[in-house]
Amino acid sequence: MSDPVVYVTREIPDAGLELVAAETEMHVWDGKLPPEKDHIIERLEELEADGLLCLLTDETDGEVMDASPNLDVISTFSVGYDHVDIDAAMERGIAVGHTPGVLSDTTADFAWAMLMTTARRTVEGSEYVLADEWETWGPKLLTGPDVSGATLGIVGLGNIGSVVAQRTAGFDMDVLYTDAEPQPDVEEDLADYGVDAQYVSKDELLERSDFVTLHVPLMEPTHHYISEDELRAMKDSAVLVNTSRGPVVDTEALDKALENDWIERAGLDVTDPEPLPGDHEITRHVPEKLVVTPHIASASIQTRDKMATMAAKNLLAGLRGEELPNSAVEDWQRK
């Protein structure tokens, strides 16, 4: 009996590819940029593929799923799965896997790195030195707000948001959060770290917070969750950090906010559009008011290896007809 055929839409870490290669006939897209949707359809059709390992950059809808009559499983190398049409997969009996939980600590660490970098103007300081502008120590040179003792507003107290909250213990911060509903179990867990997280409305969080950090999935209710009204409601000294999904923030509104000093600064690891062109209008605020990184919040070596392994195990389980270790369908149904 021949091995099942799988198509992988990008080179993921070897920790995952080696597992897949050992049990399948594996074909991997080796381009630097993601393959076009038409190309994925073409390859699935040519290969009559049994499995697809994709990334969050790959639109995976019914048209893609219908390209191969043998397709049994889709495994995405990502926590989020908004790029996969779960309804279409369920209609076709196709299993869908994702990689939840694995990147919570890594992404939370990066959210803190972005918060500290944006508040204390380290990128701006580096540019200042490289431009040969550093002439002397100055009492007002590149000052920024204290993080210690400030109020942090967390939008979404889920896996990542709760880990972000844990780390406030070392900074003696007041922690506010908003979510679809209060999270008393998470509040209780955070109390063990010495963190008193207080549930408030979205409006109150924006009004009171010195720093606002976003940790929500991209869904219809969270699309442009932060737009003009929200940015106007924030303190003019506030810092906004987004490591969730780009469209959670209205880019045009944020551009206005930075231009008109509605808020002090912003740090973005995700953008809309993504990738963000270097000549996009909002980049004129870099580095004085804006720090932008290329969606690297989960980019630690250890985390990416774990993600690759999870994605491979989901794929192989689906090919064997077994229950997926991490089913996106089950997660979607719970929501």
Give the three-state DSSP class for 327. Answer: strand
* Cα within 13 Å of Cα(119), Cβ side: 20
Reported as a single tens digit per residue, the pLDDT across 202-219 is 999 999 999 999 999 888
Reported as a single tens digit per residue, the pLDDT across 61-118 is 999 999 999 999 999 999 889 899 999 999 999 999 999 989 999 999 999 999 999 9
Report how far residue 122's alpha carbon sits from residue 70's, in angstroms, rounded to the nearest whole number.
Answer: 52
pTM value?
A: 0.89
Give the three-state DSSP class for 239. Answer: strand
Task: Return the H-helix or E-strand segment holding 95.
Answer: strand 95-97
Structure confidence at residue 333 (pLDDT): 84
Contact present, 99 and 310 (Cβ < 8 Å): yes
Domain ranges of the chain: 5-101+301-334, 104-292
Average of pLDDT values for 267-271? 98
Protein fold of 104-292:
Rossmann fold (3.40.50)
Report how far residue 43's alpha carbon sits from residue 241's, in angstroms, rounded to the nearest whole number.
Answer: 39
Structure confidence at residue 309 (pLDDT): 98
Average of pLDDT values for 190-209? 98
User: Pairing relation of β-strands 239-242 and 211-214?
Assistant: parallel
Structure confidence at residue 74 (pLDDT): 98
Structure confidence at residue 33 (pLDDT): 92
Report how far residue 114's alpha carbon sits from residue 293's, in angstroms, rounded to the nearest whole number.
Answer: 9
Reported as a single tens digit per residue, the pLDDT across 17-63 is 999 999 999 999 999 899 999 999 999 999 999 999 999 999 999 99
Other Cβ atoms within 10 Å of 130 Cβ, number: 9
Structure confidence at residue 335 (pLDDT): 67
Contact present, 292 and 274 (Cβ < 8 Å): no
**Domain 5-101+301-334 of CATH type 3.40.50.720:** yes
Same fold, 5-101+301-334 and 104-292: yes
Residue with tokens 């920024």: 144
Residue type present at position 279: D
Average of pLDDT values for 216-239? 96
Residue with tokens 């209780």: 188
Average of pLDDT values for 249-256? 98
Tell me what the pLDDT averaged over the chain comes to: 97
> Which residues share a beta bridge with 198?
176
Structure confidence at residue 334 (pLDDT): 79
Q: How far is CA 35 from the centre of its chain?
A: 21
Give catalytic residue positions.
245, 274, 295
Using N-to-C axis directions, what is the helix angle for 104-120 and 122-130, rounded to 10°? 60
